[in-house]
Amino acid sequence: MAREPGPLGRLGAHVLEVLQILGEATQLFVATVRLTPLAVVDRGRVAAQLVRVGTETLWIGALLSLFVGMVLVVQAAGQVKNVSQEVLGPIVGLSMTKELGPVMMAFLLAGRAGSAMAAELGSMTVYDEINALRTMDIDPVRFLVMPRFLAATLALPVLVLYSDFIGVWGGALVVAIDPVITIPVRSYFDRMLEWVKFGDFLTGLFKGVIFGMIASIVPCTFGLRTKGGTEGIASSTTAAVVWSFILILVFDFVIVRMTLR
């Protein structure tokens, strides 16, 4: 009878599994990118996925961004009370455009649309729908993954701009109505525009593109490798979201480090 693996054996198995998942995700990414020129032909499916991503993220994204912008102003006002509230505009502007907008929207997309992708593809894998496509000479990567990948990659930069805009106005709302904040709203915006450069927007948009790729490829990878019944679909969905969050933060660090001057 085979011996149960010890702690080192189990660790090795986990490392191998992580490497296998990363390998599968990379392979799926390459195959999907190769198929993107066919998006012109498959534009109906891409548009349908864009609508899905939009409906799953727009309202909750607005709410998140509004409150994060408001909280940022209140938190920062407490920290800078002995310096100057003139820095509130730059703090909110830079935080939203470079970091919070992209990461928050990426988490939202991975949590809402990404989990739905993993669950849907997982269910299709378990119930032989993916195999049925293969027997009909239909490439599941082109039919299912490419439209989701493109929709997420195109939608996330737009969501980042949307989040930046709402977050900044959320901050402005607090500046306008909170008696603790003494600077006028105009000054909040003037200082923000002095500090926030066009390049900061571009960094946020670039992050949006990369995070959009991660938030779609990772869930699709987990969806397509789902095994078992309902339990398998549930664990694939959870793993897809956790992995997406981790990879988004890892790539966030890499991009921030690369753009540091």
Partner 1 sequence: MADTTQHGVAVELSGIRKRYTDHEVLRGVDLNIEPGKLVAILGQSGTGKSVLLRQIIGLERPDAGRIVVGGVELERYLAMPPGQKPFRMAMVFQNAALLASLTVAENVSLRLREHGHQNSGEITEITRRALEQVELAGTENKLPSELSGGMRKRVAIARALAVDPELILYDEPTADLDPILTEEIGRLIGRIREARGSTQIIVTHNLPLARTLASRIAVLDQGRIAEYSTPEELGRSSNPLTREFLRAATLEMRGD
The residues of the shown chain that bind partner 1, judged by CB under 8 A, are 120, 123-124, 127-129, 131-138, 143
- Rounded to a whole number of angstroms, the minimum distance from the CB of residue 119 to partner 1 is 12
Q: Which token pair is 205?
A: 């948009």
- Rounded to a whole number of angstroms, the minimum distance from the CB of residue 152 to partner 1 is 18
- Rounded to a whole number of angstroms, the minimum distance from the CB of residue 136 to partner 1 is 4
Residue at 196: amino acid letter: V
- Report the alpha-carbon distance of residue 193 to residue 172 in Å, rounded: 13
- Rounded to a whole number of angstroms, the minimum distance from the CB of residue 43 to partner 1 is 15
Query: Which CB, 143 or 251, lies closer to partner 1?
Result: 143
Residue at 74: amino acid letter: V
Q: What is the largest CA-CA distance in the chain?
A: 77
Q: What are phi and psi of 148, to 5 degrees?
A: -70, -40
Query: Which CB, 45 or 98, lies closer to partner 1?
Result: 45
- Rounded to a whole number of angstroms, the minimum distance from the CB of residue 233 to partner 1 is 13
Q: Can you spell out the DSSP letters for 75-104?
A: HHHHHTTTS-GGGHHHHHHHIIIIIIHHHH
C-beta separation of 209 from 156 below 8 A: yes
Query: Which CB, 84 or 230, lies closer to partner 1?
Result: 230
Give the residue carrying structure tokens 């986990």: 14
Query: Which CB, 24 or 42, lies closer to partner 1?
Result: 42
What's CA 34's distance to the chain center, in Å? 22
Query: Which CB, 96 or 119, lies closer to partner 1?
Result: 119
Query: Which CB, 10 or 81, lies closer to partner 1?
Result: 10
What's CA 213's distance to the chain center, in Å? 8
Query: Which CB, 62 or 133, lies closer to partner 1?
Result: 133
- Rounded to a whole number of angstroms, the minimum distance from the CB of residue 61 to partner 1 is 24
Q: Can you spell out the DSSP letters for 86-154?
A: GGHHHHHHHIIIIIIHHHHHHHHHIIIIIHHHHHHHHHHHHTTHHHHHHHTT--HIIIIIHHHHHHHHH
C-beta separation of 95 from 213 below 8 A: no
- Rounded to a whole number of angstroms, the minimum distance from the CB of residue 160 to partner 1 is 28
